[in-house]
Amino acid sequence: MRGRMRQAYADVFRLGDAHRELGGRFLAIATVSLLLDVAVTTLIWQTEATDDLRHAFVWTSSELLTGGSGVETHGFWPHYVELTLQGWAITAIAALAGSFGAFFHQLHVARPEDGARSSVDAQ
């Protein structure tokens, strides 16, 4: 039992290909989300759908993070932007969930068979 716990700990905290892939996927999603936040903030501010840049940033960021905002927007078209941001948020969360699934699957595939002794169990 203790050997299996040690092996599980070593699998999770050993930096290998699975960790690099997970980090790359996380970085890609964070980068696209940040660029989308900046682009939509600028769009909302330039089209005067909110009063100032700060309100535009708060509206866009809260739409991405929580799916709703307390900041009032003017006009009907920001509702289309809201749906687009909510679609991206759902896609990003699903991609992260899939990335974690792929990460743990790679760790499981790379793990030696139950009968074989690993270098951690030998210690």
For the beta carbon of residue 73, count every other beta carbon within 10 angstroms: 21
DSSP string, 30-58: HHHHHHHHHHHHHHHHHTTSSSSHHHHHH
Write out pLDDT tens, residues 48-68: 888 889 999 999 998 888 877
Bigger pLDDT: 5 or 120? 5
Domains of the chain, with CATH numbers? 18-110 (1.10.287)
The region, left, alpha or beta by phi > 0 then psi within -120 to 50, assigned to residue 5 is alpha
pLDDT in tens, 31-41: 999 999 999 99
Q: Which residue has the tokens 């790359």?
A: 24
The model scores a pTM over 0.75? no
